[in-house]
Amino acid sequence: MLGGIGAQEILLILLIILLLFGARKIPEIARGLGKSMSEFKKGLREVDEEIKKEEEPEKREPPEKKNLAG
């Protein structure tokens, strides 16, 4: 069960969606939803890569040497 939703409720929701959109439109909606999700995940990966690139130079730079003579 998903948060108290049983099989009967899921079937009822699917039936209502089928009646609202029709059998021909549902595959188009599912395809569009899948593309949207993949684009969203791609965007998240790109943001993660940018963050990692910004963090790498900070790790590579040696700590600043203190001037002990002055």
Look at residue 31 and tell me whether its pLDDT is greater than 90. Answer: yes
14 vs 2, 8, 27, 49, CA distance in Å? 15, 10, 13, 38
Using an 8 Å Cβ cutoff, are 16 and 24 in contact? no
Between 62 and 43, residue with greater pLDDT: 43
CA 9 to chain centroid: 27
Using an 8 Å Cβ cutoff, are 46 and 55 in contact? no
Q: Output the pLDDT for position 29.
A: 85
Using an 8 Å Cβ cutoff, are 18 and 26 in contact? yes
The stretch 47-68 carries a mean pLDDT of 74
pTM: 0.51
What's the mean per-residue pLDDT of the chain? 83
